[in-house]
Amino acid sequence: MTKRRNIFSLASVLLLAVLCLPAAAQDNPFLVTPTTPFQTPPFDRIQIDHYLPAIQEGINRHQAEIDAIVDDPQAATFDNTIVALDMSGQLLDNVAAVFYSLLGTNNSPERQEIANQMAPLLSAHNDNIALNEKLFTRVKSVYDERAALKLSEEQLFLLENTFRGFLRSGALLDDTQKARLRDINREHALLVLKFEDNVLAETNDSYIIINDKADLSGLPDGVIAMAEEEAKAMNLPGKWVFTTQKPSWIPFLQYAAARDQRQALYTAYFMRGDRDNDHDNKAILQKILTLREERSRMLGYATPAAFYLEERMAKTPETVNAFLMRVWKPARARAKTEVTDMQAIIDGEQGGFALSSWDWWYYTERLRKARYDLDDSALRPYFKLENVRMGAFTLAEKLYGLKFTERQDISVYHPGVKVYEVKEKDGRLLGILYMDPFFRDSKQAGAWSGSYREAFYQNGKRVIPFATLVCNFTKPTSNTPSLLNIDEVETLFHEFGHALNTLLANGTYRSNFAPQDVVELPSQIMENWVLEPELLKLYAKHYQTGEVIPTALVDKLNDSRQFNQGFETVEYVAAAILDMAWHSLGDALNVNVTNFETKTMADIGLIPEILPRYRSTYFTHIHGGYEAGYYSYFWSEVLDGDAFDAFKETSLFDKKTAASFRKNILEKLGTVDAMTLYMRFRGHEPTVEPFLKRRGLL
Fold adopted by 282-374+563-676? Neurolysin; domain 3 (1.10.1370)
Q: pLDDT at position 98, please?
A: 98
Q: pLDDT at position 134, please?
A: 98
Q: Would you call 495 a catalytic residue per the annotation? A: yes
Reported as a single tens digit per residue, the pLDDT across 354-403 is: 999 999 999 999 999 999 998 888 899 999 999 999 999 999 999 999 99
Reported as a single tens digit per residue, the pLDDT across 417-430 is: 999 999 999 999 99
3-class SS of residue 27:
coil
- Round to whole Å and give the CA distance between 146 and 51: 40
Reported as a single tens digit per residue, the pLDDT across 39-83 is: 999 999 999 999 999 999 999 999 999 999 999 999 999 999 999
Same fold, 2-172 and 380-559+677-694: yes
pLDDT tops 80 at residue 18? no
- Round to whole Å and give the CA distance between 484 and 447: 14
Q: Please say whether the beta carbons of 433 and 404 come within 8 A.
A: yes
Reported as a single tens digit per residue, the pLDDT across 195-234 is: 999 999 999 999 999 999 999 999 999 899 999 999 999 9
Q: Please say whether the beta carbons of 477 and 222 come within 8 A.
A: yes
**568-581: average pLDDT:** 98
Which residue of the set 230, 338, 495, 568 is catalytic?
Answer: 495
Q: Please say whether the beta carbons of 543 and 483 come within 8 A.
A: yes
- Round to whole Å and give the CA distance between 253 and 247: 11
Name the band, by pLDDT with cuts 50, 70 and 90, for residue 689.
confident
Angle of helix 221-233 versus helix 246-255 axis, rounded to 10: 130
Question: What ranges do the domains of the chain cover?
Answer: 2-172, 206-270, 282-374+563-676, 380-559+677-694
What percent of the chain clears pLDDT 70, i.e. is strictly above it? 96
pLDDT tops 90 at residue 19? no
| Closest by CA position to 485, among listed 359, 378, 564 | 378
Name the amino acid, one letter, at 493. Answer: F
Q: What's domain 2-172's architecture?
A: Orthogonal Bundle (1.10)
Q: pLDDT at position 375, please?
A: 85
**271-300: average pLDDT:** 98
Q: From the options 1.10.1370.40, 2.40.50.100, 1.10.3720.10, 3.40.350.10, give the CATH code of 380-559+677-694.
A: 1.10.1370.40
Q: pLDDT at position 687, please?
A: 85
Name the band, by pLDDT with cuts 50, 70 and 90, for residue 612.
very high
7 or 199, greater pLDDT: 199
Burial 294-323 (b: 16+ CB within 10 A, else e): bbbeebebebbbbbbbebbbbeebeebbeb
**CA-based Rg of the chain, rounded to a whole angstrom?**
26
